[in-house]
Amino acid sequence: MNYKYFYKLEKWKYLIICHLKQNVIIKRKSGNMDDKFNLVKIQVRIADIDGLNHVNNAVYLTFFELGRTNFFLKNIGIFDPEDVDFVVKHADIEFKKPIHFLDNPIVKTWISKIGNTSVVFSHEIFDEKNHNIYASGATVAVWVGKDGRKRAIPDSIREKITELLVTS
């Protein structure tokens, strides 16, 4: 492994670890259906707030990304970004209630469908205290090769995520 690549990989892992420390992953008892759901507390930043004094609609996609990233890291582990090549092909959001600066949102993420080349991550953002739902939606992630074309999900990853599929 050359130094430049090693530095890039170590820096990337460091950033992921810092990211995980900033966004608390909520622990649950293992061995039940709850293991298939990932919950991440979100700290709303001032930069997330728009002119209408609530979280800008575009930031919800960032919250979904936090849920997806933490879901993947929790269930697959730290991985080499050179080996995991998936991109978001589609995102869908239904906004139900605005999030304000002092709110305590939690992103719930789970896998709702697995295809040959894609995975559908479902998301729900809700309030930690009263469980009101702020938004729900889904993102479709597609595995791609170095050439940018779709490719089958690697068997090692498919095996792990198939166990996490929520079917209703």
pLDDT for 37-59, tens place per residue?
Answer: 999 999 999 999 999 999 999 99
Predicted pLDDT of residue 119: 96
CB distance 81 to 70 below 8 Å: no
Distances (CA, A) of 53 to 60, 93, 100, 106, 130: 15, 20, 7, 19, 21
Query: What is the SS3 assignment for 123?
Result: strand
Predicted pLDDT of residue 76: 80
DSSP β-ladder status, 133-143 and 105-114: unpaired
Q: Which amino acid, residue 3? A: Y
Q: How many CA atoms lie within 13 A of 40 on its CB side?
A: 27
This prediction's pTM: 0.79
Predicted pLDDT of residue 81: 62
State the pLDDT confidence band at 1, using cuts at 50, 70 and 90: very low
State the pLDDT confidence band at 12, using cuts at 50, 70 and 90: very low
Residue at token pair 């490719």: 151
Query: What is the SS3 assignment for 63?
Result: helix
Predicted pLDDT of residue 11: 46
